[in-house]
Amino acid sequence: MSSSKAKRERQLAKEQGGVNKRAAEELERQKAKKNTRKLIVVAAVIIVVLLAIAIVLNSKFIRRDYTAITIGDMELSVAEYEFFYYNCFYEYYSYVYSSEMATYATELLPQSGVPHASQEYKDGETWKDFFDKYTYDTLTRYVGIYKQAKDAGFVLSDEAVAEIDEEIAGLNESALMYGYTDVEKYITSLYGSSVTMDILKECTEFLHYVLEYEEYYNDSLVYTDDEIDAQYESKKDMYDLYEYRYFLVSGEDIDKYSYETDEEAEAAQTDAQQAAHSIAEGYVARINSEEDFIAVAKEHDSEAYGEEDSTLRRYNGNLLGSVYGDWLRESSRKYGDITLADMNTGTYVVFFVGREDNHYDTVNARMLVVPVDSVNADDYADEEDDTAYNEAVEAAKEDARVEAEDILQQWKDEGGTTELFDEYIDEYYMNYAYDGGFEENIYQDKYSKEINDWLYDPARAEGDTTIIYSENMASYYIICFSGTGDVYAEAMAEDDLRQADVDVWEASLTEGVEITKTWLYSLEKAGTQLVGWLQ
């Protein structure tokens, strides 16, 4: 082949290669466009599928009929779990507000109007985590009790059936009171968007069945006087009542972050505590009587200990703090003994007054509690002073007083029987604006001084009634005295015996009970937002 021919062939091959390269690049571009169109189509299909899944999962049908969680032998749909979740929440809510912890309710309860899953409880857990665990534990116990009740052939009493009917009927009245013309919407506002009247009835019947059998089992436990006495003797240090006075000598506040090392901060804290201890020792040297103690405490801090009884405390042994509790419980302790009890931030000066064995008759009473409507201070933020706010508070208090008096007068006009009082309690309690009930074995100082003095007045007779305002609870108490109860120490001992036996019983019922969460529950917990379950 001549050199010129070879050159032309090489040139042609080069040109053809360039054409082929361009063709290949164009082909790749066409393939890429096709793949992109395919990806767009696939993505669109996925989005449609996900939307369809979301619609199905959020539909009331699947939330009511498909199992989300299984506890033991009990399968729960999302709607059923929602009912029990909120039932546990309301139980906890009522407990906080009906106890001495009501003052700290804002710290002990989640913020209203904000999803539980969006609020931290503590240590990285949300309030939803807290109430989930509360619900799991409660349902595990319920399932165990339910199974044994069924095995025993237990049948719900006619009284319980009637009570369920009354509760269901009462929902219509409550709905109207809160502005709902549709009771179903009222139910969903309480328990979740998927809870219907039928689901509420089914869950309510289950609750009554379990709780009535639990009460039946409790009542079946009977203890002899010897057993109760032996229990008291074994724990009398915890059952007895201790009266004492105390005040705290606080050490200097130490900012640990102002020190270069933790060791230096700890040393400074120790020095501050020791300085407080030395001051407390100086006080003790001047105390020769209870009157001296009161005077020295007032001298130390007139704001905290200015009143004569501001240093006085009365607690059962099981409620004494660990700082000086052991010292107070010592059998050799006598009136006038004084000790110093150190803690990290200072030193307590403690004066022993006395010890009682709590062998007195408790009292029984029926109570209906009418709360005073709260007044929002923010509504009066633009006022020049607190006059309008204080007037609104007093007006709310007066409204509650008048309402309490009207209820009591109506009860008297309709016969004034204890049976009728019980009916009033049931009626008003169902409105969720009231609390109360028949309370047995009310011990000394359980309620405010005014209520306690009335209940324990030696002249008190069965059937006596009154209305007393409780500042701590911001409520008016309508009280019907119902006679004396058990001896307090014996009641505590018997309660402990019963509780120990019930704990053993319930542990045997719940042992090995498993909680299984299905794909529906897992999707919700993973945060996919496909299910808006309690979010």
Dihedral-angle region of residue 346 (phi above 0 means left; psi in -120 to 50 means alpha; beta otherwise):
left
Q: Which of these, 498, 526, 25, 532, lies nearest to 215 by C-alpha position?
A: 498
Percent of the chain with pLDDT over 90: 54
Q: What is the pLDDT of residues 144-157, one digit of tens each?
A: 999 999 999 999 99
Q: What is the CA radius of gyration of the chain?
A: 35
pLDDT, the chain, mean: 84
CATH fold match for the domains 242-356 and 361-487 = yes
Helix (H), strand (E) at residue 77: strand 74-77
- pLDDT reported for residue 2: 45
The token pair at 269 is 């804290």
The letter for the amino acid at 507 is A
Q: Which residue has the higher pLDDT, 78 or 394?
A: 394
Question: pLDDT-based confidence at 31, cuts 50/70/90?
Answer: low
Residues 178-188: tens digit of each pLDDT = 889 899 999 98
The answer to which of 91-105, 212-226, 261-275, 316-330 has the lowest mean pLDDT is: 91-105
Q: What is the pLDDT of residue 246?
A: 97
Confidence of residue 16 (pLDDT cuts 50, 70, 90): very low
The residue assigned the tokens 């130490």 is 254
Which pLDDT score is estimated for 18?
46
Q: How far apart are CA 88 and CA 90, in angstroms?
A: 5
Q: Are residues 445 and 452 in contact, defined by beta-carbon separation less than 8 angstroms?
A: yes
pLDDT over threshold 70, residue 504 = yes
Strand partners, 477: 369, 468
The stretches of 126-235 forming alpha helices (DSSP H) are: 127-151, 158-177, 183-191, 197-220, 225-234
Distance CA 95, CA 60 (A): 32
Asked if 382 contacts 359 with a C-beta cutoff of 8 angstroms, the reply is: no
Helix segments in 221-353, DSSP class H: 225-234, 236-239, 262-284, 290-300, 302-305, 325-329
**Which residue type occupies 116?**
H
CA neighbor of 369 nearest in space, from 472, 470, 443 = 470
Structurally, at CATH architecture level, domain 361-487 sits in Roll (3.10)
Confidence of residue 408 (pLDDT cuts 50, 70, 90): very high
Task: Answer for the pair 131, 192: CB distance below 8 angstroms, yes or no.
Answer: no
Mean pLDDT, to the nearest integer, of 484-512?
94
Q: Please, are residues 510 and 142 in contact by the beta-carbon 8 Å criterion? A: no
Are 481 and 460 contacting, i.e. CB atoms less than 8 angstroms apart?
A: yes
Work out whether strand 74-77 and strand 67-71 pair parallel, antiparallel, or are unpaired: antiparallel
What's the pTM value of the predicted model, to 2 decimals? 0.72
Q: Give me the torsion for CA of 355, 359, 361, 363, rounded to 10°.
A: 50
Please report, for the chain, the start and end positions of each structural domain, with discontinuous segments joined by +.
Answer: 3-58, 64-220, 242-356, 361-487
Residue 195's SS3 state is coil
pLDDT tens-digit profile of 444-483? Answer: 999 999 999 999 999 999 999 999 999 888 899 999 999 9
Band of residue 5 on the pLDDT scale cut at 50, 70, 90 = very low
Q: How confident is the model at residue 529 (pLDDT cuts 50, 70, 90)?
A: very low
Q: Where residue 59 falls among pLDDT bands split at 50, 70, 90?
A: very low
What is the DSSP code string of 337-387? -EEEEEETTEEEEEEEEEEE---SEEEEEEEEEEEPPP--GGGGTTSSSSH
Q: Is the pLDDT of residue 58 over 70?
A: no
- Output the pLDDT for position 255: 80
Looking at domain 242-356, its CATH class is alpha beta
CA angle in degrees (0–180, nearest 5) for 193-194-200: 110
- Please tell me the predicted confidence (pLDDT) of residue 172: 85
Report whether pLDDT(241) > 60.
Answer: yes
